[in-house]
Structures are given as C-alpha cells and as structure tokens.
Amino acid sequence: MKLVSYLREETDQLAILVDGLLYNTQELHPDLPNNMGMFLMMWEDVIDIARQADASLKAGKHPGTAHGIAVDSVQLLSPVPFPTSCRDGYAFRQHVAAARRNRKVEMIPEFDQYPIFYFTNHNAIQGPGDIHCMPDHFDKLDFELEAAIVICKAGRNITAAEADDYIGGFMIMNDMSARTLQMEEMKLNLGPAKGKDFSTVIGPMLVTPDELEPFLIPAKPGHTGNNYNLKMTCKVNGVQVSEGNMGDMDWTFAEIVERCAYGVNIMPGDVIGSGTVGTGCFLELNGTGKLNDPNYTEQWLQPGDVVEMNIDGLGTLTNTIVKEDTDFSILALKKNV
C-alpha cells in the first residue's frame, strides 16, 4: 500500500495512491482517519481496513464514496507531515569509510560495534517542493540520499528480532546539510544542529513493508532484520551524481530501532533515517574527487538547483533550492578572539 499526504483546504489529507490516483481515506471507509498522524496512532485498528480498501482499488472497484484525484494535480506534503520525532542513523559503512578516508583518518572501529543516530528538527520536516535556505546555508549546501522509516506502534526495549513489526513503512529522505555550519559547531563536540535543522525532506509517499517483500534480501553477516535490494539514485539538474542500494545498509533498520528504543518509549509517528548511502552527498563526492585530483572542482547546491532522489519502489522525491530574500548571517556574528 502507498500512502500519501497532500494539502486539502489548508490541512493535511491522507490518501491511498493507486495507478496515479489518490483516494481520500475517510471516503474509502468511515473508520479510516483522514490524516497520517491519527492513522499511525490507530494503526492496529485500521491497517486491515486500509489494506482491504487498497486491494479493492487495485481490483478496479471503488469502495465507499471515494473518487480518484490525479496525484500530479495536488500539492504533496511529507507523507508524515507532523512526526513525533525525527532521528537519523549512520547505517552505511561505505559512506563512513569514504568520508574518513577523504579526511585522511582511519576508519573508526566503533562503527562496527553498534549503530548510532542523532535527533534532528522534526518541525522542519517537509515534502516535495521548494526548500528555502538562508545565506549561510549556501556555504557548502549539500543533500544526503537516504531511506527512512516511520514507527507505527508504541514500544520500549524492543529487540532487533522483533523491531521490523514496529515499522509502518518506508520513504525517501533527503537530510539537507549546511556543511560550514555543521563543521564549525561540531568542533565543540556538539551537533549537528544548525547545519541540519532547517530542512529534512521525506516523501513522496509512505510504502508499507508488504509492498517491498519481493525485494527482501538477507541482512549483512552478523546482523539482524529485514534488508531490501532497492537501487538509490540522486540527480541534480538532471545529472546523476549518486548511486547506491538500500541493501548496502550494514546496520538494519531493526537494529537501529533496537538502539533507539533502549530505555525509551518510541511512538507512532517517529521517523528514523538510514544515514547517507555511499556516494550519497557532495561532501563525500568532493572529498573523493580532490583525493584523486588536487585540481578537482567542488560542487555544492545553488539557488534554483533541482534535486531528484529515486529509490526503487519508493518513488521519486523532487525539490528545488530557493534562496531566502535576506542577507542575515549567523556566521557573521562570530566573536573575534
């Protein structure tokens, strides 16, 4: 099942996507909530109803009073417009190793011992469309090609062996990054904060795990949880710059959920990202380029750039970079010492 949130009469509307058409959930069945937040909160009570409605639509039937709306005729929101929290993991060893190699430091052994994550700004979650950036964001503005999950039932102290049952679905994530802000603050062993908190993009839809069963592959040796053979790409202004695969995740989402839930309640609506796939950002690509050629010209995102991310089975997430009409700079507020 593919679930989409879109703007309808100034609020978020939940719909099931079938063959390019959106069907509002509450029109498919009166017991289905009309927004993703309530749908996730009521997941175990409503998921079977939604699956039956989805099956009927795919069979050419139209349950309830639902009628199809062309998906390209509405403004798509993040599939989870108001997540209860947003964490981002660090699951791809290839990316971590390349980034460290480019900085001429050894691979950190702790990567292979346990998965890690950080909290980002869940109030800055957005979907397809314009990404508004301040002047300081354009000092090495970057994308990060990732996948993400959303939690669909509350839990605590969940083991990796059972954690896949808590995953409601999968989405594309673009963890936007302002690298100069990020690197400056992390010198103080805190962050990333201002380097990340202005925009995290997820979308264009939430795809439930049953849709991805044909792509299941074994987890890496020594790891636990579902893994998926899904090609990941990113294009900037129509030129492909990144390519990877969800199957390259060393730490599974189940293992990341296990760590997230240790001693903590995870809640329906919590979004968790995978971390950047190998080659999945300009920071890594520029570092590799300069390592191989000292004359390599770095590339960073600029106003007007169009970023298109695609993951097999999860669709294409498209955003345009927009410069805010201001010259206000927090980098300029630094004290001279």
Annotated domain spans of the chain: 2-76, 85-323
Query: Count of residues for the chain?
Result: 337
Give CATH for domain 85-323: 3.90.850.10
Tell whether the model's pLDDT for residue 47 goes beyond 90: yes
Which is nearest to 32 in space by CA: 59, 65, 61, 7?
65
What token pair was written down for 310?
A: 């695609």
Count CA atoms within 13 Å of residue 148 on its CB side.
Answer: 35
Which helix (H) or strand (E) is 181 found in, with range? Answer: helix 179-186
β-pairing, 167-175 vs 155-156, is unpaired
Residue with tokens 């699951």: 91
Encode pLDDT of 232-276 as tens digits: 999 999 999 999 999 999 999 999 999 999 999 999 999 999 999
- Look at residue 103 in the predicted model and tell me its pLDDT: 86
If you write DSSP's letter for every residue of 205-226 in order, what string do you get?
A: EEE-GGGGGGGEEPPPTT--S-
For the stretch 75-133, pLDDT in tens is 999 999 999 999 999 999 999 999 899 888 899 999 999 999 999 999 999 999 999 99
Q: What is the pLDDT of residue 83?
A: 98
* Mean pLDDT, rounded, of the chain: 97
Is residue 307 packed enough to be buried (19+ CB in 10 Å), middle (13-18) or exposed (0-12)? buried
Element holding 113 (H helix, E strand): none
CA distance 308 to 128: 10
Structure-token pair, residue 2 = 């593919």
Residue by residue, DSSP assigns 252-317 as -HHHHHHHHTTTSEE-TTEEEE--PPTT-SHHHHHHHHHHH-TTPPP----TT-EEEEEETTTEEE
DSSP letter, residue 122: G
Binned at pLDDT 50, 70 and 90, residue 64 comes out as confident
